[in-house]
Structures are given as C-alpha cells and as structure tokens.
Amino acid sequence: MGARQAAAVSGPRRPGAPAPAPVKRQSLRALAFDVVAPITLYYGLRSIGVGVWLALVAGAAAPALSALAGLITRRRADGLGLSVMALLLVGAAASLLTGSPRVLVARDGWLTGAWAIWFFLSLRARRPVTFVFSQPLLEGRRVFDPAARRWVAPRAVSWDALWDEVPRFRHIWRVTTVIWGAALLADAVTRLVMAWTLPISVVPGLGGALWPVTFVILQVITNVYFTRSGFWLILRGQPDQQHSLAVRPRIEALARR
C-alpha cells in the first residue's frame, strides 16, 4: 500500500484537473517499491539458488529503503516510514532467533495491521487520514450527475470549508475511515493466516495479489457508500432531504463567499 501523507490543498483545483504530479509519482513509487520489488527480488533470488531467509530479507529491504529515502528527502521523521524499517529489523532479528522464516513472511500482515490502527487513531485527530489522503486527489474534480447523465463541475466550495461548516460531510469521512480501517484489519489477519499456514514459497506471490484485491473491494464499497450517504450530492451542492435539509443553504452560503 505504501501510504504517504499527502499535503492538503487550501482550495479547489480547476474542475477536471488531474491529480498533482507529486501525488502520482508517490503512488507509482509506492507500487514499485512496496509491491513489485519485494516479489521480484524474492522469486528472482530463489531462482538462482539464494536461500529463503536471505531472499525474504532482500525483498523486505526494498520498501524499507524507499521509506529511508523518503525520510532523507523530507528531512523529518515519518511515523509510517519508521514503522516499515522497524518491522524489517525486528522481523529479521526474530527470524534469526527462532530459525523460522515465517516471521519475515508475516511482516506485511503486521504492517497492514499497523496501518489499520493508524486509520482508527486518526478518528481522534483534527481530520481523519482518508480525508487527508483524498483531498489532493479528488478536490475540484468533476463528479457524475445521474440526473443529467454527464460529468459536471462540483460546487466552487473547498473541502476545508465543507469540513468546517457541514456536519454531514465530516460524518461521511469518519465513516469512510472506519470502513478502510476495518478492511485493512481484515487484510492483515488474512496475511498472517497465510504466513503461518501456507507453504512459504507461495506466500509472497499471494500477498502481492492480495493488495489489488483489497484495493478494488475497498473502492467499490467506498463509492457505494459515497452514493448512498449523499457525498456526491454535497459536492454538487444538491443534498437531498433524506440526508439533511440544512446542508444546501450552508453550501450555497459557502459558495457565495
């Protein structure tokens, strides 16, 4: 997953504008170092006769090195990056002490579980992590209007203003954070079960395949919830009566500012 906290933007981008280049680059780098590199290194090294333990350590080192590079570039502590490196060191040490490479294979499960806890803890922060991640990617982008059967520009109101003024908007993002935290926790449990029950040779590949499965399921559930909760209506400035009679006047007042 390679989550990295994206910088929040102060206002909406031009409707239909693409996601900022830094966000796209971070996503591609995370995919390369956190998913592709570990699997490629493990099976590549095993194919030339390298031992299981060393191949697993080499694969796990890729995301750790990516996190270290991020720490050096930003020149400040990143809790997520530190957790990646700490889990690699602890897993390698525990694997050596126990003589079982399964401790290393289970690393992704523990890491995903840590992400789940982080999502839940962010509910007590000023803004939950799903909002912080999504704002640079989605704010100001066109939304689909099923009545008009076309993509339309959202109301010219920043997400920051919606967060401050519209309780329904805040509730939606908190529920979304719970959904993602629960899904990540289920993903973590699945990875730990695989690590301790399946042949070690198949776990890295299955673990890599599980990432897109979890992500696609989460995208479907999130978008269904957004539709049912009235999220897209709020962005269009058209909340229906089922969700809140008070939302439309607030959005109109915000748009006039």
Distance CA 155, CA 97 (A): 58
Judged on CB neighbours under 10 Å (0-12, 13-18, 19+), 166 is buried
In this predicted model, what pLDDT tens digit does every residue of 73-118 receive, in sequence order?
Answer: 766 555 555 666 666 667 667 666 666 788 888 888 988 998 899 9
Crossing angle, helix 107-121 and helix 129-138, to 10 degrees? 90
The stretch 2-28 carries a mean pLDDT of 45
In this predicted model, what pLDDT tens digit does every residue of 49-58 receive, in sequence order?
Answer: 888 878 887 7
| Predicted pLDDT at 253 | 52
| Predicted pLDDT at 36 | 77
Radius of gyration (Cα) for the chain, nearest Å? 21
The stretch 235-256 carries a mean pLDDT of 56
Distance CA 130, CA 121 (A): 12
Determine the Cα angle at 222 with ends 219 and 225, to 5°. Answer: 150
| Predicted pLDDT at 13 | 43
10 Å Cβ neighbour count for 144?
12
Q: Give the residue, 149 or 205, on which the prediction is more confident.
A: 205
Question: 83-97, 192-206, 240-254 — which one is most confidently predicted on average?
Answer: 192-206
Q: What kind and span of H or E run contains 225?
A: helix 203-229
Q: For the ranges 43-52, 145-154, 233-242, which has the lowest average pLDDT?
A: 233-242
Distance CA 101, CA 139 (A): 44
User: Does residue 112 contact residue 187 with C-beta atoms inside 8 Å?
Assistant: yes
Task: Look up tokens 């042949």; give the residue.
Answer: 199
Q: Give the residue, 186 or 17, on which the prediction is more confident.
A: 186
In this predicted model, what pLDDT tens digit does every residue of 148-194 receive, in sequence order?
Answer: 778 888 888 889 999 998 999 999 999 999 999 999 999 999 999 99
Distance CA 134, CA 138 (A): 6
Q: Which residues contact 110 (CB under 8 A, 6 or more apart)?
A: 87, 91, 188, 192
Q: Confidence class of residue 9 from pLDDT cuts 50, 70 and 90?
A: very low
What is the average pLDDT value for the chain, to the nearest integer? Answer: 77
